[in-house]
Structure 1
Amino acid sequence: MSEFERISDHIYVMHAEHTTDRPLLAAVAGSSRTLLIDGGNSAVHAAAFREYLEKEGVRAPDMMVLTHHHWDHSFGLAEWSLPTIAQRQTANILRNFSELEWNGETLERLIAEGVISERTKADMLAEYEGDLSRIRVEGPNIVFERFIDVELGDLTCEIRYVGGDHSADSCVVYVKEEGTLFLGDALAPSVYGGPMKYTTGKFLALLDTVFAYGANVLVESHGRPVSREAFYNDVRRYEQLARLVLRHGRDREAVERDLYTELELPETEALPNDMTEAITYFMNGLEQ
């Protein structure tokens, strides 16, 4: 069931749903404009958020920004009919997607090319109830390279291209006056084109960028909004791991040994599952 929340005086969200890979959607409502962050993975997803905003009496979105091109963030764009902002790489990829005939054969070809995965295929079929012909892909009409600011009246949204392993076109959105940073999926590992991976250089550079904002609330697209303290407590473990991989390279045993020390875990206790997975992702990144 869809879950909605007003997380501040000016920010409304539709929380992520994992059944069909629906990411969090957000609306930032200023005194003169409303900015939508991501369009959803389908017309149905988009319509559910629009209905919620209408019920809450929120000013209808005037424009949209895409955090990256992945289907779950962009395939609902056409349902909104809004001026849409995106990084140039996002625009180019969606332009190519818009020329495709969406059917089972297309999905198989995209899987073979490493553009999507078997998991994506399953999620698409579930979201569109097996009728891929309902997919309508549109590209953005406002394209930027590095930075762009959007003024909403009494609020400023700073949009910044950051890249990363998950998607080379990833962007973040900082609602300056609210101290809220939307990360999209920028800090997630790669999901297409081979084994899931993190590369230490990209990951640590992204963390430096994120920490520099000093945001009070941080929002990842497939998680829940969290406080700065909670976010830092969680992500610092990954930072420690990345630095250990830089030190020890492919010596997984040495990485795990030092990670126990860094996390202050007794040797009799198993490493947390997310850390075990992350070690594998960072090791996969060393193979590049």
Structure 2
Amino acid sequence: MEHKFEQISPHILIMHAEHATDRPVLAAITGERRTLLMDAGASPAHAGQFREELERRGCRLPDMLVLTHWHWDHSFGMSGWDIPAVAHEETAEALAALSGRGWSEEEMAELVQAGTISEASVQHIRLEYGDSGAVTIRQPDIIFTGRITFDLGGVTCELIHVGGDHSADSCVLYVQEDKVLFLGDALGPSVYGGPYKYSSTGFLRLLEMAYGFGAEWYVESHGVPMNDQDFRADLAPWERLARVVDVFGHNRERVVLEMKDYLKLEELPGDLLKGVDYFMAGPK
């Protein structure tokens, strides 16, 4: 598998998302005194590949890591980093609930049944870990509520709890000097414990929050970095969809009609049709 790395701003190197096993973006933010790692990776192997690239480039290795939320692809790589880990209190609670359990087929099936993970996650964990099932859950060292600020030496990062449909513990990371906002998966739908679903009001709240930073670049964990103009253009149909759902509720036919009229299309694109279904499955 070929791994893609990119220096997206003066202080930030990322390892791009890889969709074969649902690996998210990893980022190293380097100041004059220390380096902060955003998300631990899906496995020690994932973590190791990013570390090797940092070493190859002569970058300062991470001194600490932060988690955007507890989901396996963001946190199971923690055991591959011998550095302090920072997480929101709800992230710590979720990881504590998984600590010490096994990851056999039967045990993962129990987690799916309980709505803790999805069948898609099971498939990706199998691919990431192979037959070993050697998952080690590490607990965070520093737990926060609300927000926490890191001074890396000429670079300031804020980790802020925002919640949302995807995961109640979702956090965003803002790198002030580089004007880069890492969104984690905060704008994503709920993916565990039932059909994918969105709350229109919740989605609009998060979008307003994101725009409020005045960032020049936005990075979602399973996407590619986008500048402000491209990000807003990419999210505009989704913002409109959420506003239409806010007005017409779960009248699917009317929502689809309004979106066709807005986009001047005879049929909605497949991703937006899925989006309609997500909102229809959300809170009424």
Query: What TM-score, normalized to structure 1?
Result: 0.96
Query: The residue matched to 2:157 in structure 1 has which SS?
Result: strand
> Are 1:271 and 2:272 an aligned pair?
no
1:37 corresponds in structure 2 to 38
The amino acid of 1:164's aligned partner reads: G
The amino acid of 2:28's aligned partner reads: A
The amino acid of 2:142's aligned partner reads: I
Q: 1:75-125 deviations in whole A, cap 9, x for unaligned?
A: 000110111111000011111212212222210110000001111111101
State, as a whole percentage, how many aligned pairs show the same letter. 48
2:256 corresponds in structure 1 to 256
Query: Is residue 218–residue 231 contact of structure 1 (8 Å, CA) maintained in 2?
Result: yes
Query: Is residue 157–residue 176 contact of structure 1 (8 Å, CA) maintained in 2?
Result: yes
Of stretches 38-47 and 247-256 in structure 1, the one that deviates more from structure 2 is 247-256
Query: The residue matched to 2:29 in structure 1 has which SS?
Result: strand
Query: Is residue 3–residue 15 contact of structure 2 (8 Å, CA) maintained in 1?
Result: yes
Q: Could you say what the CA RMSD is over the residues aligned between the two structures, in angstroms?
A: 0.9
The amino acid of 2:88's aligned partner reads: Q
| CA shift for structure 1 position 2 | 1.1
Q: 1:112-171 deviations in whole A, cap 9, x for unaligned?
A: 000011111111011101211x11110111111101001100000011000000011000
The amino acid of 1:54's aligned partner reads: E
> Are 1:55 and 2:52 an aligned pair?
no
| 1:68-79 correspondence to structure 2 within 5 Å | 68-79=69-80
2:222 corresponds in structure 1 to 222
| 1:1-288 correspondence to structure 2 within 5 Å | 1-132=2-133, 134-263=134-263, 265-266=264-265, 269-287=266-284
Query: The residue matched to 2:241 in structure 1 has which SS?
Result: helix
| CA shift for structure 1 position 284 | 0.3
The amino acid of 2:272's aligned partner reads: M
The amino acid of 1:273's aligned partner reads: G
List structure 1 runs of 4+ shifted beyond 6 angstroms: none
The amino acid of 1:46's aligned partner reads: A
Aligned length: 283
Q: 1:247-288 deviations in whole A, cap 9, x for unaligned?
A: 11121111111112222x14xx3211111110000000035x
Q: 1:207-229 deviations in whole A, cap 9, x for unaligned?
A: 11101001000000000000000
Alpha-carbon separation, structure 1, partners of 2:28 and 2:248:
43
Gaps of at least 5 residues in structure 2 are none
Query: The residue matched to 1:85 in structure 2 has which SS?
Result: strand
Alpha-carbon separation, structure 1, partners of 2:67 and 2:58:
24
Alpha-carbon separation, structure 2, partners of 1:58 and 1:72:
24
Alpha-carbon separation, structure 2, partners of 1:30 and 1:105:
45
Query: The residue matched to 1:177 in structure 2 has which SS?
Result: coil
Query: Is residue 249–residue 286 contact of structure 1 (8 Å, CA) maintained in 2?
Result: no
